[in-house]
Structure 1
């Protein structure tokens, strides 16, 4: 595996092992219960980034999930249990080793660390999606156009600032079906890809997961049940690991989810079409495609030639509008 992100190296070499150790206190005899990711066996740095040699998770019976179909309710609960364990272990690590956690870079959305392609990709994705629905839902399309502004990035920076969160955890940043493996026999899941990990609110990961990964026909409509399951697993893990701080309840976690709702919009517009992509649309879809305007336009045309995707996007956009997620009062040009 190759990465150019400083967060990933720190996560693999220091933070994930420390979090595994914390969870191992509560589950000393069950590797599948507390294992968060593949062990990093070797890391080689170069001027371009890092090359990682990770353990083969196939030997532990972890396999990929069905990306195009999405997670059913049972699979979603398995993945949310691992997310809860990840967040719980990080809360304890924040208390026990604050200096280590402080080594994590801030979010790519903060002004000083903003990842260049994100603003361009989000603007282009928003414009294309708005154009698709402009005749059917003109009011929503107009509001989406207004999202292409500096105000959107300010909202993102605000929710990504850990100082604005009432619950602080290490977030994964992109906890979707593409970055998860599952052991079906043990009913356990595992995370991959920690390039966007940073300190933040659990609401960020929850919103990203809910709007990219569940199967639309089943699990998507049962998000309250899934959120309750996450909260139950979070409380259980914190208690089992001897956490001495205040354990967040459902109301607090849900308030963070609502506060971070703009992250749902970001996930649905930019990532959901990729998750739902057909095999044909997925072919030759890589970073170079994302960075090439003409190639990305052609790829979007393929992505949106997908009836189930359009149905799901229509539903989530209506929900965003009802919940005032699309409201922006500063329609300034995108930087």
Structure 2
């Protein structure tokens, strides 16, 4: 539910969080010296500013750093740009919630140990392409990650308020399928490492996010009751679901031994995908970012989350089945290219698995999408998401005044109801 870096940058007016006090020249210089394998590197100047604007990131602090340095006492300076990702360590309320999800530990391990190895696996095939930002340094003591600033190579965030068109959606699914496939191969060759990642947004260890999810379902029920196209039947069904949304979503995340499981991104939506538009000099490209909630689970987790938060409405409604087929084709192609010896699901088997995890579509539509489509950012902060006071309730009600969100719910709630997803299981 966050973003690792807004390529458009955040202005000084949006300076709503402080940069880490330890982020100094003396801290960065030895890191750059090791990375560049040159002990003569000397930092001359640092320029530090926020990397995201309010409403783009709820889960972490993103800081953009420009480093000016010299080599071998040369007079001519070089400049490089980095993103420094840190936690809300100064806020006990926020840090305590995230501690229950092992968010920082998970992401640091992925950037330090896992993602580079997934990239190496893919590079061994003819399907090689870049999937992730390059990691410069992981600081376990400070719960910080430093990686390349993708904005330098013209990567930006997509428009979360409109979503991806068909071309961009297929590219995102191609990258996701390759991540999923390489993780399955990695797990086959180094078992019992990825399977320990079980602290996704929904898990059996913490329900710290329950006020947010239950609060949005409550407001969704209010909206349904006031909407002539939906009415009291939908209002009552959503009211009954409210206290069960965590449990039902957790079931989707539970990996089944007889099914195809992979390392899910866990928070795969528009603002966790950096987009480079096609130019005369560069092809269209995307990179996956923000892995705080990665977990070993069914592909249904990422597919329902992405397809129900990040697409243009017309694409979502008209292309859903074709997009699943496209994802499956890339998944199978990558698994075979890497000589995966485990079970490769047929398209039919994958569809049944996705259908089994269908409640994730309900969760993503009613809650995550409401956050992502919100364009009223005055109160868009973590406290508004997580608390149960009047300010938090008003924020959620404001989010549900979004006309695009309302239109999507009018279309999709009847679909979910026809599939039985709004009925409580006995």
Q: Flag the structure with larger Rg.
A: 2
Which runs of 5 or more residues in structure 2 are unaligned? 1-84, 88-97
How far 1:165 moved relative to its partner?
Answer: 5.8
How far 1:88 moved relative to its partner?
Answer: 0.5
Query: Structure 1: which 4+ aligned runs deviate by more than 6 Å?
Result: none
Q: Does 1:39 align with 2:100?
A: no
How far 1:115 moved relative to its partner?
Answer: 3.8
* Paired residues for 1:74-153 under 5 Å: 74-111=167-204, 113-116=205-208, 118-135=209-226, 136=228, 137=230, 138-150=232-244, 152-153=245-246
Q: Does 1:323 align with 2:419?
A: yes
Out of 360, 377, 386, the position equivalent to 1:291 is 386
Out of 212, 225, 247, the position equivalent to 2:344 is 247
How far 1:108 moved relative to its partner?
Answer: 4.5
Which stretch of structure 1 is more off in the superposition, 76-85 or 62-71? 62-71
Distance in 1, Cα, partners of 2:197 & 2:291? 11
Higher relative contact order (CA 8 A, sep 6+): 1
Q: Does 1:171 align with 2:270?
A: no
Residue 217 of structure 1 aligns to a residue in which SS?
helix
* Paired residues for 1:177-196 under 5 Å: 177-185=270-278, 186-196=283-293
Which residue number corresponds to residue 333 of structure 1? none
TM-score between both structures, scaled by the size of structure 2: 0.71
How far 1:24 moved relative to its partner?
Answer: 0.8
8 Å Cα contact 1:214-1:220 kept in structure 2? no
Distance in 2, Cα, partners of 1:315 & 1:165? 34
How far 1:125 moved relative to its partner?
Answer: 0.7
* Paired residues for 1:40-59 under 5 Å: 40-46=135-141, 50-59=143-152
Distance in 1, Cα, partners of 2:377 & 2:240? 30
Which stretch of structure 1 is more off in the superposition, 61-70 or 215-224? 215-224
Distance 1:42 1:239, change over 3 A: same
TM-score between both structures, scaled by the size of structure 1: 0.89
Which residue number corresponds to residue 161 of structure 1? 254
Distance 1:36 1:311, change over 3 A: same
Which runs of 5 or more residues in structure 1 are unaligned? 331-335
Distance in 2, Cα, partners of 1:306 & 1:103? 39
Distance in 1, Cα, partners of 2:112 & 2:154? 23
Distance in 2, Cα, partners of 1:58 & 1:241? 31
Count residues with an aligned counterpart: 319
Distance in 1, Cα, partners of 2:163 & 2:181? 25
Distance in 2, Cα, partners of 1:277 & 1:56? 26
> Which protein has the bigger strand share?
2
Out of 122, 141, 146, the position equivalent to 1:23 is 122
How far 1:104 moved relative to its partner?
Answer: 2.4
Distance in 2, Cα, partners of 1:261 & 1:174? 16
Which stretch of structure 1 is more off in the superposition, 316-325 or 294-303? 294-303
How far 1:98 moved relative to its partner?
Answer: 1.0
> Which protein has the bigger helix share?
1
Residue 138 of structure 2 aligns to a residue in which SS?
strand
Distance in 2, Cα, partners of 1:292 & 1:246? 43
Which residue number corresponds to residue 69 of structure 1? 162
